[in-house]
Structure formats: structure tokens, C-alpha cells
Amino acid sequence: MIEIEHGHGGRKSLDLIQQLILPALGASGAPTLDSARLSGLGDDDLVFSTDSFTISPLFFPGGDIGKLSVCGTVNDLAVAGGRPEYLSLALILEEGFPLEDLRRIMESVGATARDAGVKVVCGDTKVVERGKADGVYTNVTGVGAALPRHPFGPAAIRPGDKILISGTIGDHGAAILAVRNELPMASQIPSDCAPLWPMTRAIFEAGGEHVHAMRDPTRGGLAATLNEFALDASLEFVIREEDVPVRAEVAEMLEVLGMDPMALANEGKLIAFVAPDGADAAMEAMRQSPIGAQAAVIGEVGGAREDGRVLLETAFGTRRVLEMPVGEGLPRIC
Amino acid sequence: MIEIEHGHGGRKSLDLIQQLILPALGASGAPTLDSARLSGLGDDDLVFSTDSFTISPLFFPGGDIGKLSVCGTVNDLAVAGGRPEYLSLALILEEGFPLEDLRRIMESVGATARDAGVKVVCGDTKVVERGKADGVYTNVTGVGAALPRHPFGPAAIRPGDKILISGTIGDHGAAILAVRNELPMASQIPSDCAPLWPMTRAIFEAGGEHVHAMRDPTRGGLAATLNEFALDASLEFVIREEDVPVRAEVAEMLEVLGMDPMALANEGKLIAFVAPDGADAAMEAMRQSPIGAQAAVIGEVGGAREDGRVLLETAFGTRRVLEMPVGEGLPRIC
């Protein structure tokens, strides 16, 4: 039966998709169910991505479910190499949900869409009885024009590529954790929830064909994203732990809780795999962005390895395997 | 606060969208939040539509939430004048949901997508705690190529247009009603849940520019769709009650319950507004379709009327106003 861990974005989520959902869809399904690049609907390819949002609480430091919903889908399109253009917005509302909260959330959708330069063009509203939802769940699906005309995606990653992160990691997960547990530092740890577009455009403009792949490390954090990419690319990645930026407040809180920022969700960060010749320019483009001041090169791509592997190099020079997170995720983080 | 009636697709649903959601979205929102026609993403226009599904029960005579989810969105694209191409599929799963049920639903998604000639190309899976959903909720969002190059939609409806329905009405709503109430005739009333594509293609090929508008009368039934179109087009419609096809079993059941088939949901029917010169050809195209054998001309478009109006002409020649359904809908019908 479905367990909470099936929703964490780690091993169990992948297994559910690969072992049950994709085989059941058969020939009607795509090889993966990530954001898709679509051909045949005009001259240029499109990008297409969907996300449902069940975050709890609905309002949190740095955002709310409305802002998160727009960012989540805009960011999927952006790191898939798209120029986000149009969004759909579907609501599942629980009977008794306050209209004033709905209004705040919709205003937040509107404001974030404006920031990201996208339009909400179609929608749907469903209502379920009290106790059959938790206030409001959303779905935002988006389409955009595909920008890169060079090979782009995990399969384009090459040995020697630099691995870049656009800023501090774990902020979104830490923010939700702090609010849920009513920790005193909650107000000092805002979620990083933000649109990654137009930063991704600047990275493409600066790095050109050297930009081989991008991803936003959401559920399962950097650990899940790196492991997925390493597996897809059949390559080994080496990450220098001390170069991975973490906010002091986040590091402090997680140390007390015994948690790892590498496995915590981000909602306004991206990792990029860039060939050495383009890495400086891509890094500079990130740093020029208002949300990329703390961008850093955190590692390199090593050699071929059938089943992929992510190695974490500590400050003392020792190396350990960074595993795909299994059951340690937070439920309803996005 | 949100009431069950906000989800019925009638007056209250429209008010919520027009008075709260659209003003809050501001400039980021489209004028309506129906399926949208998108320009600027290539040479040809696209159609784009979203629907979330919260139907209860998940399995019912004639279908399940998987089949319904694909049909719902494929049909929105089809009646918007699109050739459905690509779907996204997002799941909100309740902890404890049986994997076997999920597999059946996914197989149903796969089979229906195959029937409709579409691909499921991206997806998302979220899990919420027990008691925070009702088994599974889905969202399916779709894109397709826009076919008609002539004016198409409510604004293109003209006085004198014939109003066509592709078959019997109220079957989906009646099926769900019978199952929920454990009525003895439940097994004899299957939902009409079916993809309207490729029937819509045949209608366009046959009727050409005479085909002015189409819509699938789902939540709120024929009564809601006719009233929305009459209002949007600022025209009066006259419907001949005796020409509206209703299955005998459905009519019988609804008479006992004191309910009107005009306000019950359909999930495999469309109404079309066609200029007289194209009406016979369009009707023939419907009837040639395996799901259109009982297609009928049910009325005509009358003259201009600022606030729109739908008149129902009885067998005795009397006329009454067919109102937009207000609170009589069924919750979680789709």
C-alpha cells in the first residue's frame, strides 16, 4: 500500500514510478515522467511540466502554497531548458476553507506569475467534503518554448564537467521543519522559494553549449538530484562537502536535529553541469542574479560508472558515498 | 467559506472564479480560466486545458478515475478545437491506498490514452497522510494543436445556428448517483465516459467553417453549458425538450428521484453550434462515430439578448426558462 515515503522524492518515489506507474501506462507513457520536451506542435520544441502541491502549512516564512505552486512549475520548465510562458492552475478545495485564505493564495499566484513573466491561462476548481483534503491542494502545469538547441540533459553530462549550485541548500526544507516544530528560529529561516527564470536564461546566454544539464533539487534535496543524474548519466560525481553553501542558521538547526542539508528540499536553487570552458561564465551569470549571490562550484564529474555514484569529499580529504535518501524526507514539503 | 456548491460547475462555481480568483490573479490571469488557445509558441496555435479529478467512488460502471481523468482533459482539448497530443498526470495519493487499485487506475489511464491517441509525457506523485485525501485525486493537463482557422467559440455563435447534441444526456451523473445510493438499476446505467476525439475531427472535416462552437457538458450538465454559452454570446437559445435524447433507464430513475437530466453531468458528449448550411453534414459525422449513434438536433439559436437566455419548449408548445443550476449538483462527480 502507499506509504508516506512514496512521496519523498527519493528511492521509494522512483520505485513507484518505475515499477508500477510506467509499466501500467504501457506504450501511452513516456520513458520517464519528468518534465518533457515536446516535438511536432509547431516549428520549435516545447517544454511541458506538471506538479501538484500539498504543502503543510499553507503559509510559511518566505512564501505560501500559491507562490510555491508557481515557482515549482516555472522552475521545472526553466531547468528543462525552457522559457516559461503559460500556466494552468487547478484547485482542490476542502469544504469550509476560508475565502480570505484563498484570496491571499490567489494573489500570491498572481504576483509570482508576474515576477516570472508567465500567464495563468486556464484553470479548474473542485471541492471535496470536510476531512477529505487539508484546506487546499493545487496543481500547476506549464508550457514554454525550449531554448537550447545543443544536447542538453543528463545524457549530455561529460567527465570533467563542473558542478555548480546557485546558492545555499536546504533552506526550504529547514523553513518548513522549523515552522512545523515551532522552533524559536523559525522566523530567521525563510524558504528560498523563488522563480529560477530568468536566471536560467542568463546561464544559457553565458555558457552556451557548454551548459550540459540543469535541475532544481526539490524533494530529496541535492542528494536525490545528484544520485538521479549520476545514475541516468552512468557517471561518478565528486562533491567537495566544504564548498556546498549552507546558511549558518540552517546548519545550526540541522545539527541539533541530526539532519543533513543535502537531503532537504530547495525551491529556488538549481545545480548546473557545465563544461570547464563555460563554467566561469555560467558562474558569473548565476552570481549576477539577485538569487544567485552565493553560487559556488561544488564538484566535478569523474569517470564512467554503470550504476552511477556520488562521492562526498570531506575537508580532511576522505571520501564517502552520498546515498539516495530513502526514508528520511519530510512529508508534504511541497 | 468554501461550500460544496462551489464545486458543482454552476452559478456558485462561476462566481468564485469571476469574483475572487480572477481579480486576485490580476494581470497574470486570463479573461476566463477555461481551456486556452495559446499563440506565440511556434507557427500554429496550441490548445491547453487542465482538470483535477476527485470523483467518488473511484471505480464505477463504465469507468474509473483513470479513464475519467484522460477523457476529461482530452475532451476539453477536443471541444476547444484541438487535436489532443500530450498529457501530464499528477497524483495526490492518500497513505494506505492499495497499490493494486493504483495499478488498475494507471492501466486505465494507459488504455484510454491509447484510445484517444495521446501520450502521457510528464507526471508528479505526492502522498498525504491518512484522512487528508480520499484514496487518490488526479490532475491531467493537456496540450494539442489548434485545428480551426475560422472564428470558433461562443463569440462565433450566430442567430439561426442549429444546436446539436452527440447522444443521450445525464448518463454519467445518473451512473454515479445510482452507485452511491446503491440503487438496484446501478449496473444498467453505465457512465458515458469516453474520449470525444476523434469525433470532433470528423465534425470539423464535415462542417468546416460552419462549426461555430463546441463544448462538453460536464458538471452542471447541459443546463449549465447552454446558459454559459448563451451569456457569453449574448443570444437566446431555444431547446425542444422532446428532442433531447435521454436513456429510458436514466429517465425512469431520475423521475423517481425528482431530478432533471439537463443538470446532470456527461463525460462523453458534446454540444455543437453549427450554421444551417453545415448542420446536416456535422450531424452525419456525429452519427458515424461509435459514440454518436443517438446524436440529435435539439434546438436553434434565436435573437440577441444582452444577458443570454435558454428557453425550453415542451411537447405542448409551452416555453419556460432553463436556469443555470444553482445548488442541486452532485458533489465529486468528476
Q: Please report residues of A whose CB lies closer than 8 A to that of B110.
A: 24-29
Q: Is residue B2 part of a domain?
A: no
Nearest C-alpha of chain B: how many angstroms from A331? 7
* Mean pLDDT confidence for A153-157: 96
Q: State the DSSP string of A109-161.
A: HHHHHHHHT-EEEEEEEEEE-TTSSSSEEEEEEEEEEE---S--SGGG--TT-
The last residue of one of the domains, among B105, B127, B146, is B146
CA B259 to chain centre: 19
A175, A243: one domain:
yes
In terms of domains, do B38 and B135 share one?
A: yes
Question: Do A215 and A236 sit in the same domain of this protein?
Answer: yes
Judgement on whether residues B162 and B274 belong to the same structural domain of the protein: yes
| Overall number of domains in chain B | 2
Average model confidence (pLDDT) for chain A? 94
Q: Cβ–Cβ of A3/B95 closer than 8 Å?
A: yes
Say which of B53, B109, B143 has its CB closest to residue A25.
B109
Cell of B86: 500530450
- Shared domain check, B234 and B303: yes
Query: Do A100 and A41 belong to one domain?
Result: yes
Residue from the list B13, B94, B145 with its beta carbon closest to the beta carbon of A41: B145
Q: Which residue has the higher pLDDT, A325 or B226?
A: B226
- Asked whether residue B19 is domain-assigned, the answer is no
Q: Shortest CB distance from B48 goes to which of A30, A86, A98?
A: A86
Measured CA to CA, the distance from residue A250 to residue A190 in angstroms comes to 10
- Asked whether residue A112 falls in the same domain as residue A176, the answer is no
Residue B326 lies in a domain: no
Percent helix, percent strand, percent coil in chain B, to nearest 5: 40, 25, 35
Q: Read off the CATH number of the domain in which A31 is found.
A: 3.30.1330.10
The answer to whether A111 contacts B28, with C-beta atoms less than 8 Å apart, is: yes
* ipTM of the prediction: 0.95
* pLDDT tens digits for range B96-144: 999 999 999 999 999 999 999 999 999 999 999 999 999 999 999 999 9
Whole-number pLDDT of residue B58: 98
- B125 and B161: one domain? no
Range of the domain at B58: 24-146
Contact B50 A89 (CB under 8 A): yes
Secondary structure letter of residue B85 according to DSSP: E
> How many CB atoms are located within 10 Å of the residue B331 CB?
18
Q: How many alpha carbons lie under 13 Å from residue B125 in its C-beta half-sphere?
A: 27
Q: Pick B41's closest partner by Cβ from A3, A7, A42.
A: A42
Neighbour tally for A83: CB within 10 Å: 19
DSSP string, A254-297: HHHHT--GGGS--SS--EEEE-HHHHHHHHHHHHHSTT-TT-EE
Whether pLDDT at A133 is above 70: yes
Which of chain A's residues have a Cβ under 8 Å away from the Cβ of B180? none
| Mutation target among A51, A75, A141 for the B interface, most CBs of B within 10 A | A141
Task: Name chain A contacts of B68, Cβ cutoff 8 Å.
Answer: none
**Closest chain A CA to residue B118:** A28
- Mind listing the pLDDT tens digit for each residue in A87-121? 999 999 999 999 999 999 999 999 999 999 999 99
Residue B115: exposure state from Cβ atoms within 10 A (0-12, 13-18, ≥19): middle
Out of B114, B146, B178, pick the residue that ends a domain: B146
Reply yes or no on whether the pLDDT at B42 is more than 80: no
How many angstroms separate the CA of residue B290 from the nearest CA in chain A?
22
Chain A: residue nearest B93 by CA?
Answer: A2
Count H helices, E strands: chain A?
9, 14
How far apart (Å, rounded) are the C-alpha atoms in residues A332 and A69? 13
- What the block records as the C-alpha cell of B107 is 492501466
In a domain, B287, yes or no: yes
**pLDDT value, residue A91:** 98
- Is B7 within a domain? no
Phi, psi angle pair for B110, to nearest 5°: -60, -45
Residues B246 and B162 both lie in one domain: yes
Integer CA distances (angstroms), B189 to B168, B178, B292, in order? 12, 8, 17
A34 contacts in chain B (CB < 8 Å): 122
Query: Looking at residue B32, what is its pLDDT?
Result: 74
What CA dihedral angle connects B177, B230, B322 and A95, to 10 degrees?
40
Q: Scanning the structure block, which residue is given the C-alpha cell 461562443? A: B154
In a domain, A178, yes or no: yes
Sorting pLDDT into bands at 50, 70 and 90, what band is B36?
confident
Same domain, A101 and A231: no
Instruction: Please tell me whether residues B223 and B271 are part of one structural domain.
Output: yes
Question: Is B40 contained in some domain?
Answer: yes
Q: What is the mean pLDDT of residues A143-159?
A: 94
Closest CA to A89 of B42, B141, B60, B119: B141
The yes-or-no verdict on residue A161 having pLDDT over 70 is yes
Residue type, A259: M
3-state class of B238 per DSSP?
strand
Residue that terminates a domain, selected from B113, B146, B179: B146
Fill in the amino acid letter for A241: E
CB B304 within 8 A of CB B235: yes
Residue A75 in domain: yes
| B211 shares a domain with B74 | no
B310 CB burial (10 A radius; 0-12, 13-18, 19+): buried
Residue A236 sits in a domain whose CATH number is: 3.90.650.10
